[in-house]
């Protein structure tokens, strides 16, 4: 039992670093903007609610920069922590080499999920009030320049979130409980971090799909690849008119095909034997996630 609590405490510690830095960067940015624009807005005689609306507009304009800074800073802090412990983020977060077979299955699953997960929420009769969290999240995504979105949402955030959730959290929890339970808990936390009922449920399913490859390979590299593909697709769709002319019928067809492709990739992965875990992870770097 002592070992169980020790591993859970480690998982919470790593998550706390992530949580604190994300909020710290946002808090500092908000303070700086308040100092810069606060006097001007107050001089304009704005009411409290109007003041908040204007400040939120200013905050939205730097969301991309905040995401980039917080992601880089969090990874840097993890790197320093592991150096102090005389180990490495590569080893502790399970950034291991993966066979071409699993890379291929991951890309196939991500290709199916691009259409299935992204389109199904627009097809299902979900009440608009439940879509609030997702709608707000998508608005924030397009509130800053596209290059910032591609750097932050399509690269840095996928790497960071896989290190945190499928790396540190899953690896610690799986030492204290069955892997499926660790996957469920990790995915629930991942979902809650995205806020809103629909978005949280969407992120939960997203996390569970990645956990299939995490468990089978013992590595977070497939998760990084899956995450990068999914986020890049979402970013491009949000910033470009790629899907503006897609009819509801076509969207339904894409969703069904995407679901079949995703299910097939997961079925093959689930039937495959677990990859042998090697200890020589020192030569693998985070850059491997760009494969």
Query: Is the pLDDT higher at 1 or at 252?
Result: 252
* pLDDT for the residue 280: 46
Query: What is the crossing angle of helices 179-192 and 197-217, to 10°?
Result: 150
* pLDDT for the residue 281: 41
* pLDDT for the residue 285: 38
Percent of the chain's residues with pLDDT above 70? 90
- Per-residue pLDDT band for 133 (boundaries 50, 70, 90) equals low
Record the pTM: 0.89
What phi, psi does 142 have (nearest 5°)? Answer: -100, 15
Q: What's the pLDDT tens digit per position in 9-38?
A: 999 999 999 999 999 999 999 999 999 988
Q: What's the pLDDT tens digit per position in 141-176?
A: 667 889 999 999 999 999 999 999 999 999 999 999
pLDDT surpassing 90 at residue 138: no
Q: What's the pLDDT tens digit per position in 42-99?
A: 888 888 888 888 888 888 889 999 999 999 999 999 999 999 999 999 999 999 999 9
């Amino acid at each position: 039992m002592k070992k169980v609590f020790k591993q859970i405490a480690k998982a919470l510690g790593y998550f706390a670093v992530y949580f604190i830095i994300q909020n710290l960067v946002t808090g500092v940015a908000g303070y700086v903007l308040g100092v810069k624009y606060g006097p001007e807005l107050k001089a304009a005689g704005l009411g409290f609610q109007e003041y908040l609306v204007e400040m939120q507009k200013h905050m939205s304009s730097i969301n991309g920069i905040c995401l980039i800074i917080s992601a880089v800073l969090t990874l840097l802090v993890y790197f320093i922590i592991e150096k102090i412990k005389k180990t490495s983020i590569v080893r502790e977060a399970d950034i291991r080499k993966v066979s071409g077979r699993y890379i291929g299955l991951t890309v196939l699953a991500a290709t199916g999920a691009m259409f299935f997960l992204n389109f199904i929420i627009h097809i299902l009769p979900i009440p608009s009030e439940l879509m609030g969290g997702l709608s707000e999240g998508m608005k924030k995504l397009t509130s800053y320049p596209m290059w910032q979105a591609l750097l932050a949402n399509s690269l840095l955030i996928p790497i960071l979130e896989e290190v945190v959730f499928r790396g540190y959290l899953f690896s610690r929890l799986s030492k204290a409980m069955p892997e499926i339970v660790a996957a469920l808990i990790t995915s629930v936390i991942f979902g809650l971090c995205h806020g809103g009922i629909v978005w949280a449920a969407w992120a939960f399913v997203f996390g569970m799909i990645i956990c299939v490859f995490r468990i089978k390979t013992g590595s977070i590299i497939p998760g990084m690849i899956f995450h990068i593909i999914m986020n890049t697709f979402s970013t491009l769709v949000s910033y470009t008119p790629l899907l503006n002319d897609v009819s509801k019928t076509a969207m339904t067809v894409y969703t069904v095909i995407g679901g079949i492709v995703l299910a097939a990739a997961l079925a093959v992965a689930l039937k495959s034997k677990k990859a042998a875990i090697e200890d020589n992870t020192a030569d693998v770097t985070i850059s491997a996630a760009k494969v």
